Every structure is written in C-alpha cells, then in structure tokens.
Amino acid sequence: MIGATHLRLRRFSGVANLAIEQPVMYYDLNGLAAITQAVPHKVVADEAIQNLATMIEIASRRMVDMIGLKLGKCGGFYRALQMMRIAEAAGLPVRIDWTQGSALLDTATGHFHAAVRLVACDPGMDYQLRIKDQPVREGGAVVNKGKIVMPEAPGLGLTIDEKLIKKLSQRR
C-alpha cells in the first residue's frame, strides 16, 4: 500500500508548495511516517490524530511535517489546545481545519482559529450549507466578501434553536 501511494504521489514531484493530507488510513502510523520520509512534499496528519496518546506518538517520532486539527474531531477546545501545545513543543506547525458540520461547529472553529492564530485555516464554512436542520437560530460566523466574520455577541455569538435540538435528540 505504501509503495502504491508513493508511486501515485511521485507525479506531483514538480509541484511546489504542495501538502499531502493524511495519505494513508488513520491507524497506519508507520505508513504515515514512511510516506513523510519518502516524498519531498509536506505531509499533514489529520484523521490520524484520534487522541492525546496518538498525538504524542506522532509528534515525538516526527512522523509528519504538519498537524491538522479539527475541533469537531479532537474533543473540543481544551483537547485541541493540548494537541496544539504538543505539536508546538515538537516543532510541528499546526493548521486549524474545518469539519463538516453546522454553523454552530463552524462558529466554534472560527473562534478557536481566531484565538490561536496558527499557520493556516481551511475556510471550509460551506459545509453548513448542505445541512437541512440548522441548530443555530441566529448569529454565528458568516462569510462576507470571501472573509470569515466572527460574531461580537457574548459566548460563541449565536443563539441555538432549542426546539430543533430537542427534536434532533429524539431521533433514532
């Protein structure tokens, strides 16, 4: 599998400024490290970051060139900050990425990125446009002229549709 992945990536050898995000399955840490050593491009760990123990292993062994954190996958603000600090201690750049979700998750991710101001942020706020049931009734982060605008109201700067949350929590 690593050989085939490496062969596919070789066709990008002349592309400058290319980052390869999670080129192997999330559980294949040795494969992730092998790809990082084999290609000239930056390799980003994303789905591999499942918990603090995995983050420590990836960082301590320098298995990748960069870490991609998704607030919705790493356990919230506190866990994301812990993972960010581990990466920084290992000298690994951190990128805050969006996770497919609602305006609630997009707003929380926007706040996180604004608070830590790291290497990069994937402005993927369009995920919420694909969701029928929106838990945010009012406020939240918005895209205006190609820029993410964070709300100024207290807390996350949004109001939750509590009736919808109750309805969704009763789904089976």
Query: Closest by alpha carbon to 83, among 41, 124, 51?
Result: 51
Nearest-angstrom CA–CA distance, 150 and 140:
7
User: Could you tell me the pTM of the whole model?
Assistant: 0.72
pLDDT band at 164 (very low <50, low <70, confident <90, very high): confident
pLDDT above 70 coverage of the chain, percent: 81
pLDDT band at 9 (very low <50, low <70, confident <90, very high): low
pLDDT in tens, 18-30: 788 888 999 999 9
pLDDT in tens, 38-76: 888 889 999 999 899 999 999 999 999 999 888 888 888
pLDDT in tens, 77-104: 899 999 999 998 999 988 888 777 777 8
pLDDT band at 117 (very low <50, low <70, confident <90, very high): low
At residue 135's C-alpha, the angle toward residues 130 and 136, to 5°, is 100
Contact by Cβ (8 Å): 67, 92: yes
| DSSP letter (8 states) at residue 153 | S
Nearest-angstrom CA–CA distance, 71 and 109:
6
